[in-house]
Structure 1
Amino acid sequence: MKLITAIIKPFKLEEVREALAEVGVSGITATEVKGFGRQKGHTELYRGAEYQVDFLPKIKIEVVVASDKLEATLEAITKAAHTGKIGDGKIFVTSIDQTIRIRTGETNESAL
């Protein structure tokens, strides 16, 4: 099993959710986060004063998939979140040792 953590632009959330549903991913967790990478924030103008915004709004998506669904899931996220502009985001993949569904006690892939 693999944990996929993707940091994407907020307006791409619905497209990514739909793409994941198409490849059979049944559940995701999405969190509003702030951060910056190479784009290093931007400058905004408010009431005539210019100020620097260092942390940009992003969405962090977390999904656990069976190892055999990994490539299809990564491709779905990549295609749906892609704009071709700086700040599209990143995807991190981590191994998961054990999963337990609290309600039923199912473990590992049957718990997904």
Structure 2
Amino acid sequence: MADKITKVEIITRPSKFDELKEALNDIGVTGMTLTRVQGCGVQKGRKENYRGITYIPELIEKIKIETVICEVPVDLVVETAKKVLYTGEVGDGKIFITEISNVIRIRNGDEGKVALDNEK
């Protein structure tokens, strides 16, 4: 398998999903998985009010978008995500990049780059 396959995971605010999805589609990223996640990092929770009571939630609601790419340059995906998600505030998110050793389409046994092809 000669083609490089890369997984990009983006964790960010739920309110940014539609804008990010559209921007990624515009550069040729068509397949992605969205997961609602909770976590904490630098934010360590922010004050919220519920029925007049102020509290600090231990975990913050985020989304994780995962996509596996081989045709679209990784740098383009990262730059697009950074441009869309940047607010300059704590909580903009993180991007994780992982090399994938193989992809297998269960339905017909295709492996590698061809398993990512949406045409088959």
Rounded Cα–Cα distance in structure 2 between residues aligned with 1:13 and 1:95:
24
Listed as ranges, the matches of 1:70-109 within 5 Å are: 70-109=74-113
Listed as ranges, the matches of 1:39-58 within 5 Å are: 39-58=43-62
What do residues 34-90 of structure 1 show as CA deviations (whole Å, max 9, x unaligned)?
111101101222233222212111000110111762111111111111122110000
Q: Which residue of structure 2 lines up, in the alignment, with residue 6 of structure 1?
A: 10
Instruction: Provide TM-score, normalisation by structure 2.
Output: 0.86
Superposition misfits of 4+ residues, deviation over 3 angstroms: none
Q: Which residue of structure 1 lines up, in the alignment, with residue 36 of structure 2?
A: 32
Gap runs ≥5 in structure 1: none
Gap runs ≥5 in structure 2: none
User: Percent of counterpart pairs with the same letter?
Assistant: 43
Q: Which amino acid aligns with 1:109?
A: K
Q: Which amino acid aligns with 1:13?
A: F
Instruction: Provide TM-score, normalisation by structure 1.
Output: 0.92
Rounded Cα–Cα distance in structure 2 between residues aligned with 1:63 and 1:96:
11
Choose between structure 1 and 2: higher helix proportion: 1
Choose between structure 1 and 2: higher strand proportion: 1
Rounded Cα–Cα distance in structure 2 between residues aligned with 1:10 and 1:45:
19
